[in-house]
Amino acid sequence: MSALLEVDSLSKRYPVTRRGLFRARQYSEIRAVHNVSFRIEAGETLGLVGESGCGKTTTARAILNLVEPSEGVVRFQGRDIVPLFKENDRTKVLQVRRSLQYVFQDPWLSLNPRWTIGETLKEPLRVHRPEAPETWGARVEELLRMVGLEPHHAWRYPHEFSGGQRQRVGIARALAIEPRLLILDEPVSSLDVSVRAQILNLLVELQDRLGLTYLYISHDLSSVRFISTHVAVMYLGKLVEIGQVDALFTRPRHHYTRALLSAIPMPQPGAANTRIVLQGEVPSALRRPSGCPFHPRCAAALPVCAEREPLLTAAAGDDHRMACHNPT
């Protein structure tokens, strides 16, 4: 049985050019995402984690063709959707976008300041359901209540709301056309801790009620553990480990994953926590290291790590994979 979303060997490269006397010439490229593969079953949540700049958002945008992928296959419900965007057939593209929606990181920048909240929530209905405008008002009220807001909020503007309320509006907008999968791009990173917990609880409640599937992108590992069923760890554009959330958090196999998890603050003062401090900086995407991209910062690196790039292979069962020549 195929997964709801399957990503196979997805890559995104950006050319780096140098302007000459008559024209610009490409002299290198940035591999923002390289050979990324994962799958998400219906009703599950995959948490995609890693340091800033590791390629998480680029992966999400390539799935929805907000940036055109350089290579790879994206299957939704068993169908490769990449060619549909290349054909530029509006009808087919809208069919895909009805089922796949995006919740952006910054709710202030993603909402039109000149539109009321009601106008914002009607816009996806106008695009995808133009045949029934008489139903839009009732749907807007339903969406507002669904995310914990009141119907009278439809007449207000984004600047009249707090950050948490604006993110609720962003979630409501994504839910307007009843999608099956939401891509959540750091939806709580700009919020206070208490508001963050409210939004996470709302997302869990909506998933249970509507049968949603999530791709949850974050560098906040505590929220990832709370909301995810599986976790994928990225480093310099590549997946280095992927597995079931409890197994990955209790027994990480990749040294980079161990270092990330060691940085999670302990809730109990004085509790033992051995922090693993990585040496050096993340290498430039323009000058990627040979072999394993993590080996210059890895204390357990072997000579083979600098020579051959490890493949993502089964580590501790069929559901847990890691890319490491010398796993823990």
> At 85, which helix (H) or strand (E)?
helix 82-87
Which homologous superfamily is 5-228 in? P-loop containing nucleotide triphosphate hydrolases (3.40.50.300)
Lookup result for tokens 């780096």: 16
Interval 78-94: pLDDT, tens:
999 999 988 878 888 89
Residue type, 156: R
Hey, which residues does 48 pair with through a beta bridge? Answer: 217, 232
Residue 240, pLDDT score: 94
Interval 280-320: pLDDT, tens:
778 887 788 889 999 998 888 899 999 999 988 886 556 78
Interval 16-74: pLDDT, tens:
877 766 777 777 788 899 999 999 999 999 999 998 889 999 999 999 999 999 999 99
Which whole number is the average pLDDT over 97-120? Answer: 91
Interval 159-198: pLDDT, tens:
999 989 999 999 999 999 999 999 999 998 878 888 999 9
End-to-end alpha-carbon separation of the chain, Å?
32
Lookup result for tokens 């990181």: 105
Distance of alpha carbon 161 from alpha carbon 140, whole angstroms = 17
pLDDT band for position 267 (cuts 50, 70, 90): low
Helix (H, G, I), strand (E, B) or coil at 174: helix
Copy the structure tokens of residue 308: 């051959």
pLDDT band for position 272 (cuts 50, 70, 90): low
Report how far apart, in Å, the C-alpha atoms of 188 and of each of 21, 79, 138, 144, 211 are: 47, 31, 28, 19, 21
pLDDT band for position 201 (cuts 50, 70, 90): very high
Distance of alpha carbon 44 from alpha carbon 65, whole angstroms = 22
Q: Give me the sheet containing 79-80, strands edge to edge.
A: 24-40, 5-19, 71-76, 79-80
Residue type, 116: T
Sequence ranges of the domains in the chain: 5-228, 254-328
